[in-house]
C-alpha cells in the first residue's frame, strides 16, 4: 500500500492555465505538506496543514492555494501558471507536525509549464 500518493505524476501545460495536483496519505497523520523542488534539486517547503488548518505559508505567490477536504488529503491548486512554476512538487505527511516527526514524502509530480 502506498503511504503518500500524488496525482498526476507528470503534468505538462501552457502558461496561464490553472491546474491542480492531488495528494492523499493513508498513514493517519495529522499534518501534510507541499514542497517544491527546482531543477537544482533545492527543496523548499510551501505549505503545511495540521487538522485542516494552515500553519506554515512560506513566501509563496497567492496563485498557489492549498485545499484540504479532510486530514488525509491536501490538494494544491495553481492559477495562471508561469514558466518559473516548472518543478517537481512533493507532498509529504507527518504524525503531528512536530519537527521531530518523520516526514514521509510522495513520489512527486513533475510539472512542466510551456
Residues that bind other proteins (CB under 8 A): 4, 40-45, 48, 55-56, 90, 92, 97-100, 102-108
Nearer CB in complex with other proteins: 80/112: 112
In the complex, least distance from residue 6 CB atom to other proteins, rounded to whole angstroms: 9
Q: How many CA atoms lie within 13 A of 49 on its CB side?
A: 23
User: Pairing relation of β-strands 109-113 and 10-13?
Assistant: parallel
In the complex, least distance from residue 30 CB atom to other proteins, rounded to whole angstroms: 12
In the complex, least distance from residue 54 CB atom to other proteins, rounded to whole angstroms: 12
Nearer CB in complex with other proteins: 62/102: 102
Nearer CB in complex with other proteins: 75/103: 103
What 3 state SS string does 4-58 have?
A: EEEECCEEEECCCCCEEEEEEECCCCCEEEEEEECCCCCEEEEEEEECCEEEEEC
In the complex, least distance from residue 80 CB atom to other proteins, rounded to whole angstroms: 27
The span from the CA of 80 to the CA of 29, in Å, is 31
Amino acid at each position: 500500500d502506498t503511504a503518500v500518493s500524488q496525482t498526476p505524476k507528470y503534468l505538462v501545460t501552457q502558461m496561464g492555465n490553472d491546474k491542480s495536483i492531488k495528494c492523499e496519505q493513508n498513514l493517519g497523520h495529522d499534518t501534510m505538506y507541499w514542497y517544491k523542488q527546482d531543477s537544482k534539486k533545492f527543496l523548499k517547503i510551501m505549505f503545511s496543514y495540521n487538522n485542516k488548518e494552515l500553519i506554515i505559508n512560506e513566501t509563496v505567490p497567492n496563485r498557489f492555494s492549498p485545499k484540504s477536504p479532510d486530514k488525509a488529503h491536501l490538494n494544491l491548486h495553481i492559477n495562471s501558471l508561469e514558466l518559473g512554476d516548472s518543478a517537481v512538487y512533493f507532498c509529504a505527511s507527518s504524525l503531528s507536525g512536530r519537527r521531530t516527526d518523520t516526514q514521509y514524502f510522495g513520489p512527486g509530480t513533475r510539472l512542466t509549464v510551456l
